[in-house]
Amino acid sequence: MNQDKQQPSVQLELQEHYGQILSLLGEDPQREGLLKTPERVAKALQFLTSGYQQDPEAILRGAMFREDYRQMVIVKDIDFFSMCEHHMLPFFGKAHIGYIPNGYITGLSKLPRVVDVFARRLQVQERLTTQIKSCIQKTLNPLGVIVVIEAQHMCMQMRGVEKQNSLTTTSDFTGAFSEAKTREEFMQLIGHSRR
């Protein structure tokens, strides 16, 4: 309830700051095209960082089922959008998750939801990868978890080195995925074969 009361005041404060930013950039926040921009940007930023208000472990626990299945479960090509904490510019791409159950499975839609929770925070791709892996490992206690993320970073494409076709890949894994053979099977199943 306290959080609900804070949201409107946070939005109003963000709007005020964005109005000031527009002025500092040399714009007129009172011109027609910019009149509602501070409000729109404030709402967008609150949505893009809404992961701070969500519990990813609770999401997984909300759909945990006992199941005697001990083969790989994979959800691949999970689209995500996040904000780079260094420049507050977007990075986006696909996450691929695999785990080997150890008595419990989770609803398949819960894995993309966990990705969204962590992606909707100010991030770096490396931490995002590890947070998703650690959350699944801690909550489901599977025999192993692997997360691979491929992303394009607007902070590299729009500014700085300006390399538009660069793709960053990160991975993290636990347990059974420490074995090269198991990792290779996962990579083949998500469509990434070694050449």
Residue 65 burial by Cβ neighbours in a 10 Å radius (0-12, 13-18, 19+)? exposed
Of 21, 76, 35, residue with least CA distance to 191: 76
- pLDDT band, residue 195 (cuts 50/70/90): very low
Task: Please tell me the pTM assigned to this model.
Answer: 0.91
Per-residue pLDDT tens over the stretch 42-83: 999 999 999 999 999 999 999 999 999 999 999 999 999 999
Same domain (yes/no): 24, 83: no
Instruction: Write down the catalytic residue from 84, 96, 131, 135.
Output: 84
Catalytic residue among 11, 27, 87, 150: 87
- Answer whether residue 131 is part of any domain: yes
Tell whether 66 and 160 lie within a shared domain: yes
What does the pLDDT look like over 156-170, one tens digit per residue? 888 887 777 889 999
Question: Annotated catalytic, 125?
Answer: yes
CATH of the domain at 10: 1.10.286.10
96 catalytic residue (yes or no): no
- Full DSSP string of 120-178: SSEE-HHHHHHHHHHHHHHHH--SEEEEEEEEEEHHHHTSTT--TT--EEEEEE-GGGG
153 is catalytic: yes
Told to judge if 155 belongs to the known catalytic residues of this protein, a careful annotator would answer yes
- The domain of 71 spans 57-189
> Taking 80 as the threshold, does the pLDDT of residue 1 lie above it?
no
Instruction: Say yes or no: 86 and 125 in one domain.
Output: yes
Is residue 85 part of the annotated active site? The answer reads yes
